[in-house]
Amino acid sequence: MILMKDIIREGHPTLRKRSEEVALPLSAEDKALAESLLEYVKNSQDDELAEKYDLRAGVGIAAPQVNQAKRIFALYFDPSTEENMSLIAINPKIVSHSVEKSYLTTGEGCLSVDRAVPGYVPRYARITVKAYNLQGEEFKMRLKGLPAIAFQHELDHLNGIMFFDHINAENPFAEIENATPIE
Ligand SMILES: Cc1nc(NNC(=O)[C@H](CC2CCCC2)CN(O)CO)c(F)c(N2CCN3CCOC[C@@H]3C2)n1
Ligand code: NI
């Protein structure tokens, strides 16, 4: 299982690389990597396991964060939540997006960033995405709200982008034009 010691931190060059597309059908190694990413996010949201293994809570994690520069990430929102999502995305792409933006009023954090970086992170409010699943089948999804924000945060990792790259340096909490805040 992935532990915090396996997660690389800000300053590690892999976080600034463009990850490589993975070959389909997935090799056994890439399949195991993808499953371990989803397992981490689920474990991190389980109070007992998070406590036992000292895991920082997450709703997503990307392969480069465990020093695997591959275009794979996982997202997990418990079925009891409005978002309700369990996703492994292989070679993901945003195929279209709204003009409207959105942002988390709390700002964002990152498992690979051991400091708080305050400020609004402008993202597309709605996105249409395409990716491949563990079986190598292509799928499309339309996302909005927190799942859309999280998908963009993880996709950024595959392109060597960190959330704080998007924060307005002059005024981190400057109003974002044509944007809907997400509480
Ligand atoms: C929004 C949120 N971000 C948490 N952490 N940061 C992350 O997920 C980073 C990715 C997120 C940062 C902003 C969008 C994507 C990880 N990133 O670095 C991967 O690249 C949370 F932990 C969290 N929740 C709410 C749901 N809760 C359910 C019960 O368990 C606790 C859990 C806490 N919500
Ligand atoms: Ni992150």
Question: Is residue 39 annotated as part of the catalytic site, yes or no?
Answer: no
pLDDT for the residue numbered 14: 99
pLDDT digits over 100-151, tens only?
999 999 999 999 999 999 999 999 999 999 999 999 999 999 999 999 999 9
Distance, in Å, from the CA atom of 103 to the CA atom of 107, rounded to the nearest integer, reads 7
Closest Cα to residue 169, out of 129, 120, 127, 136?
A: 120
Residue 91 is predicted with a pLDDT of 99
pLDDT band, very low/low/confident/very high, at 55 (cuts 50, 70, 90):
very high
Looking at residue 29, its pLDDT comes to 98
d(CA 13, CA 147): 27
DSSP 141: E
Distance 89 CA to ligand 2 centre (A): 15
- Residue tagged active-site, from 138, 154, 170, 175: 154
DSSP state of 168: -
- List ligand 1's pocket residues with C-beta within 6 A: 45, 57-62, 65, 108-112, 149-150, 153-154, 157
Q: Residues 11-23: what's their mean pLDDT?
A: 98
Whole-angstrom distance, CA of residue 44 vs CA of residue 46? 6
pTM of the model: 0.98
Separation of CA 25 and ligand 2 centre (Å): 27
Ligand 1 pocket mutation pick from 19, 48, 59, 117 by most atoms within 8 angstroms of CB: 59
Q: How far apart are CA 97 and CA 144, in angstroms?
A: 10
ipTM for this prediction: 0.98
Rounded Cα distance between 87 and 38, Å, is: 7
Ligand nearest the Cα atom of residue 58:
1
Q: What residue type is 44 in one-letter code?
A: S
